[in-house]
Amino acid sequence: MLRRRGTRNTGHEEQSELETTYYADAEGPNLTETLQSENETDEIYDATQTFGGPYSFFGRNCSYIAIAILCRVAAVLLFHNFLISQPEWTSPLVSIKNLRDGVILERESLTSAAGNLIRMLPSVIFFFNKVIDVSSFPLLIIFHIFFDIVTAYLLSKAAFKIQGDSTVAQIVAKCFLLNPLAIGSCACLNLTTFHNALLATVVYFFAQGSAMLSSFFLGLATVSQMFPVTLIASIWIQFSDWKQIIKSIIGFTAGVSLYLGINYVLSGNTWGFASNIYGFMVNYEDLKPNCGLFWYFYSQVFEHFRTFYEYVFLANSFLYVLPLTLALRSDPVLHLTLSLLLLVTLSPYPTLGDAAIYMALLPLQQRHFKSLRYSLLIACTITTCVCLMPIMWHMWVVSGSGNANFYFAVTLIYNVAQLYILLDLLMAYFRAEVTEVIPEEITEGTNFVLH
């Protein structure tokens, strides 16, 4: 008689200990085959039961989802008016105020007359005019919370597909649902929630191995914000076969063409929306402060140098695609995470909620966590900067006891801290690569210095 004691992961935190008794008969190979088939059954059971469909997702995370919903509802009811008045949480491209103005102009048939005041795609205005009543506050709350939960579900499914570990997948979902930046963005009721859901869809199909669908949704995201086009490099690293690359190009082209065509038709067969949105991004026409780096520079630069620096900043947004691709060509997931980070840092009109996507994907790099050197410093810096931004804004604009340098200093340190996440992960990745190539040269005392 052979006894085996073990545990079976049922997808819950509590695991029940099973005791299985096997009786060996005269044929020894049958016993071995029985044990192997039992192990295969356990693996299949774990893979299917620990992380299933939406019902399984809600079943395992119901308590965290309930907490996330309560936090978002409380944040909307208590802090909505305060948050939409803070420049770091909103921008002209995602503001709920601008969206309501655009819907009112659309209803009054004044869109063409005041087109340069609207920084929203015609499809977005049409959707909130015909489908979702933008004046219905409860409906907007439900809609934004729903999209946040969908985003968490897509990210967790992608994490499980990449790691094959339900624990990591749940951590990814919790990192998004309980992230104060995601909660604050939802409380603002701005379009950042939908942009995050769109990028989460790209990540989901990226992990599922669908080059065409991931590129298609990336095309939609590119039409919405323009700069996500840099993520195509991550897709090409993941799907390096030429057939897959061709599929990704077809999918991206289809997404861009379809969404642009819809907006062209809804705008009355004119391309006026293109200059109102994409020209607005490139030329940086609105100098209102935000959590980015552009506003302070453009407010100080001489006007006759402005055109030159517009091209410089535009090129800077795409400059790091090639070196990052060459450095991380063997790790598409890390490349995608860092590309999302650069997308947030180098965007002309960023919001704090934009960072929630790449922060939720950081647990996928857990193998590099032991090599990180500045994780605690970075976490404390970002937390401190997020707390100081409204204080510095109040000192500058409301009380008048400070100036623009106060607010810009905090936003600058915030973005530097984000870039240090990139540098820290890159150094950890290179250390792991060197350890694999020449392990005899790497000891516990080996020091990798950031220059």
Q: Are residues 43 and 167 in the same domain?
A: no
pLDDT value of position 16? 40
Whether 374 is covered by a domain: the verdict is: no
Please state which of the ranges 46-60, 78-92, 123-137, 294-308 shows the lowest mean pLDDT: 46-60
The answer to whether 270 and 264 are in contact (CB under 8 A) is yes
The stretch 275-287 carries a mean pLDDT of 87
Please state which of the ranges 1-5, 100-104, 151-155, 429-433 shows the lowest mean pLDDT: 1-5
Q: Are residues 183 and 138 in the same domain?
A: yes
- Number of domains composing the chain: 2
pLDDT value of position 451? 44
Buried-state track 340-359, b at ≥16 Cβ within 10 A, e below 16? bbbbbbbbbbbbbbbbbbbb
Whether 398 is covered by a domain: the verdict is: no
Confidence band, pLDDT 50/70/90 cuts, at residue 54: low
Rounded CA separation 89/11 (Å): 37
What phi, psi does 86 have (nearest 5°)? -95, 125
Q: Which of 180-184, 291-295, 300-304 has the highest mean pLDDT?
A: 180-184
The last residue of a domain, from among 267, 288, 309: 288
Whether 413 is covered by a domain: the verdict is: no
Residue count (the chain): 451
Rounded CA separation 114/130 (Å): 20
pLDDT value of position 242? 92
Q: Is the pLDDT of residue 342 over 70?
A: yes
The stretch 133-145 carries a mean pLDDT of 89
pLDDT value of position 62? 82
Q: Is the pLDDT of residue 348 over 60?
A: yes
pLDDT value of position 47? 43
Q: Are residues 183 and 213 in the same domain?
A: yes
pLDDT value of position 164? 87
Q: Are residues 257 and 270 in the same domain?
A: yes
The stretch 296-313 carries a mean pLDDT of 88
Q: Is the pLDDT of residue 50 over 80?
A: no
The rounded percent of the chain whose pLDDT value lies above 70 is: 82
Confidence band, pLDDT 50/70/90 cuts, at residue 20: very low
Six token digits for residue 56: 């399984």
> Integer distance in angstroms from the first to the last C-alpha of the chain?
63
Q: Are residues 26 and 12 in the same domain?
A: yes
The last residue of a domain, from among 268, 288, 308: 288
Whether 448 is covered by a domain: the verdict is: no
Q: How many C-beta atoms lie closer than 10 Å to residue 164's C-beta? A: 13
Confidence band, pLDDT 50/70/90 cuts, at residue 58: low
Whether 450 is covered by a domain: the verdict is: no
Whether 10 is covered by a domain: the verdict is: yes
Interval 375-397: pLDDT, tens: 999 999 999 999 999 999 999 99
For residue 164, give the amino acid letter: G
The stretch 38-45 carries a mean pLDDT of 41
Question: Is the model more confident about 34 or about 212?
Answer: 212
Please state which of the ranges 37-41, 118-122, 310-314, 358-362 shows the lowest mean pLDDT: 37-41
The last residue of a domain, from among 29, 49, 69: 49
pLDDT value of position 267? 87
In eight-state DSSP terms, residue 351 is: -
Q: Is the pLDDT of residue 405 over 60?
A: yes
The stretch 15-29 carries a mean pLDDT of 38
The stretch 74-85 carries a mean pLDDT of 94
Q: Is the pLDDT of residue 370 over 80?
A: yes
Q: Is the pLDDT of residue 286 over 70?
A: yes
What's the domain range around 35? 2-49
Helix (H, G, I), strand (E, B) or coil at 74: helix
User: Could you give the angle at the alpha carbon of 416 between the alpha carbons of 411 and 422, nearest 5°?
Assistant: 135
Confidence band, pLDDT 50/70/90 cuts, at residue 57: low
pLDDT value of position 51? 55
Rounded CA separation 303/331 (Å): 43
Q: Are residues 136 and 212 in the same domain?
A: yes
Q: Are residues 11 and 110 in the same domain?
A: no
Confidence band, pLDDT 50/70/90 cuts, at residue 209: very high
Confidence band, pLDDT 50/70/90 cuts, at residue 59: low
Whether 313 is covered by a domain: the verdict is: no
- The radius of gyration of the chain's CA atoms, rounded to the nearest angstrom, is 25
pLDDT value of position 275? 85
The answer to whether 152 and 176 are in contact (CB under 8 A) is yes
Q: Are residues 41 and 58 in the same domain?
A: no
pLDDT value of position 442? 61
188, burial (CB in 10 Å: exposed 0-12, middle 13-18, buried 19+): buried
Q: Are residues 101 and 244 in the same domain?
A: yes
Whether 308 is covered by a domain: the verdict is: no
pLDDT value of position 1? 36
Q: Are residues 150 and 165 in the same domain?
A: yes
Q: Residues 368, 372, 377, 382: is their CA dihedral positive or negative? A: negative
Q: Are residues 62 and 202 in the same domain?
A: yes
Q: Are residues 174 and 34 in the same domain?
A: no
Q: Is the pLDDT of residue 187 over 70?
A: yes
